[in-house]
Amino acid sequence: MSNNGFILDFLINYDETWCNMLGIFNPYLDPYDYNWSKSVPMYDILAYEKYPKYNFVYDKLWIAKSCGMECGELKNLHKRDVEYPIFIKPRWGHKTASSKGCYKINKYEDALQYIDDDDMMWSEFIDAKEGMTDFILLNGEIKWQMTLEYSDTQKGFIDDWKSISMKHQPPESIINWVHAHMAGYSGILNVQYRSDKIIEISLRPARGGSYLKSCNNTNIINNINSVIDFNTWDETIEDKMNYKPFYSFKCYTKAPIIYLLPQYALDTIMYLFNSKSFYEYYFEPSGKVGMVFFQFYHSDFDQGSKAKSFMETLILSLQMFFILWFAIFIYFFMNGKKLESYKTIFIIVIFLFCTQIFNPLTTFYSKFKTQKQQLF
């Protein structure tokens, strides 16, 4: 197992113990009376290792070629080879996540700073709205699907919200690709696409299976578990695998994130806005500046939009608050000024800053990994 896989495995195994010890909410476990089988991989690195016969889908360059896209290794890009703009991104899907390292390139000179990276690729730029589908396959046959439609408004390449409904259907060309290339596969296949072109595929459910679990239907989870554990599908409950439509909202900030609200505060805010049971810190960079930091689901679009705006304003204010006070403390220290008169304030600020430890372990790992990748 790779180092990343080992770290994830460790955190996943001990996260529940950590949350129970602190008495805090674990969004992937606590809201539900039912859960995923332990055999269902929730992270790309684990899925890559679980399905060696099918992990070719993590090669995004191969995926682009299979869809007939103009593409290639970035190191082999020549100025006159392509029509701009193009899109560049990390080639291997199990080594990176979300939109990290992804850029629209308008001219050859803009690509030069990335061109020596052996793991980067380029493809034609698809100017179309993104969509995503979780397919459930049994021996290569599509048994069920959940499709998410993305908002027209975006921060970089990051959607503001997604709509999840049984009425949404994937493009016919995407279904045909799955039938053509996933023969014999049993499991979950997450496919992201723009128009009829696939941009990324994973062998695990989107967002740790939270979209599927937020349908609040045990039949969906039980049937998917049966595919993973026993390679079977119960057709007698197919007509009972329905759910009411809902929305996924992403909260975004341009401020550097040094402080996270403790889980208790998140619980209160989401309760007041009447959100669905699942919400989490979720970190995704938008280019070199700005980052998604929180994701939640809501049944009502207008209420969800208000909650999104509130969270974005609150997190921005808190980052500015702590940055300001730390700058003041550093100024006093560097200039040899005494802190006695500010000692109480200093203690209160440090105490408030430390309240962020009341969050799941995986939250800190995800934030650190995302900030590290964005910085370097």
Segments of the chain scoring below 50 in pLDDT: none
Model pLDDT for residues 210-262, shown as the tens digit of each residue: 999 999 999 999 999 999 999 999 999 999 999 999 999 999 999 989 999 99
pLDDT of residue 97: 64
pLDDT value of position 185: 98
| pLDDT of 317 | 97
Q: Which helix (H) or strand (E) holds 294?
A: strand 291-298
Reading the block at residue 218, the tokens are 């045990």
pLDDT of residue 300: 97
Q: At which residue do the structure tokens 């057709």 appear? A: 235
At 332 the pLDDT is 80
DSSP-derived pairing of the beta strands 71-73 and 130-138: unpaired
- Residues 249/310, Cβ–Cβ less than 8 Å: no
The amino acid that residue 220 corresponds to is I
Pairwise CA distance, residues 88 & 73, whole Å:
9
How many beta carbons lie within 10 A of that of residue 232, not counting itself? 11
Strands of 197-202's sheet, edge to edge?
197-202, 187-194, 130-138, 141-150, 161-164, 246-253, 291-298, 279-285
**Structural domains of the chain, ranges and CATH numbers in brackets:** 38-56+128-244 (3.30.470), 70-124 (3.30.1490.20), 248-375 (no CATH)
3-state secondary structure of 139: coil
Residue with tokens 């208790």: 264
Q: What pLDDT, on the 0 to 100 scale, is given for residue 17? A: 84
28: Cα separation from own chain's centroid: 14
Token code pair at residue 341: 């008169």
pLDDT at 8: 59
From the list 51, 57, 47, the residue with the least C-alpha distance to 9 is 47
d(CA 346, CA 22) in angstroms, rounded, equals 25
The model's pTM:
0.86
